[in-house]
Amino acid sequence: MTAVALESSPSHLHALIGRLLATLASPNVAGETSPPLSSFNVPFHPPINDGWLTETLGRIERYRTYRRGWDGMEAPTPEPGSLTTAEYLASFFAAWPVSRRPQLALDMDGFPTFAAKSNEFYLHLTVEQTNILTWYAIVSGAEYFQDGVAFDGTALPIELAHFAD
């Protein structure tokens, strides 16, 4: 019941978005990436009222309550750092065209996973550790695969950023 209440509370989500933006702006928060907004290499206009972002951040907040066996089977507890990385990613994906914004879910390893599929675009991106990304994508027929790419929250890796085009 708590999770439902959190999910359905706009004020809570606005606070969450505010916290994310504050984290982005404040340097040197222990254990989390904390880049200044000025270091973003892409235009970043946080869409506070964006439904996709609100839903995605709300989902991450719910995932923070998950514990081992959350899927009713053997799935491990999602790592808090990986979920923070997913929050950062979401803030970038929110600037992507709606048709390419990936959907967030947890996989059976407890890894936050973003996936999207359309005729010309497929993305399967996994946050396997804090600040570490793996993705498999098909964009206009071309295959892209990267494993263990560092992402500190300040800028999307170049190849990933190009998927927005």
Residue ranges that bind another protein, judged by CB under 8 A: 3, 65-67, 69-74, 103, 105-108, 113, 115-118, 122, 124, 134, 136, 138, 143, 145, 147
Distance in Å, CB of 66 to another protein, minimum: 5
Distance in Å, CB of 121 to another protein, minimum: 11
Contact 123, 10 (CB under 8 A): no
Nearer to another protein, 29 or 68 (CB): 68
Nearer to another protein, 39 or 65 (CB): 65
In sequence order, what DSSP letters do the residues of 89-112 get, joined into one string? HHHHHTTS-GGGPPEEEE-TTS-E
How far apart CA 52 and CA 94 sit, in angstroms, is 7
Distance in Å, CB of 49 to another protein, minimum: 20
Helix, strand or coil, per DSSP, at residue 147: strand
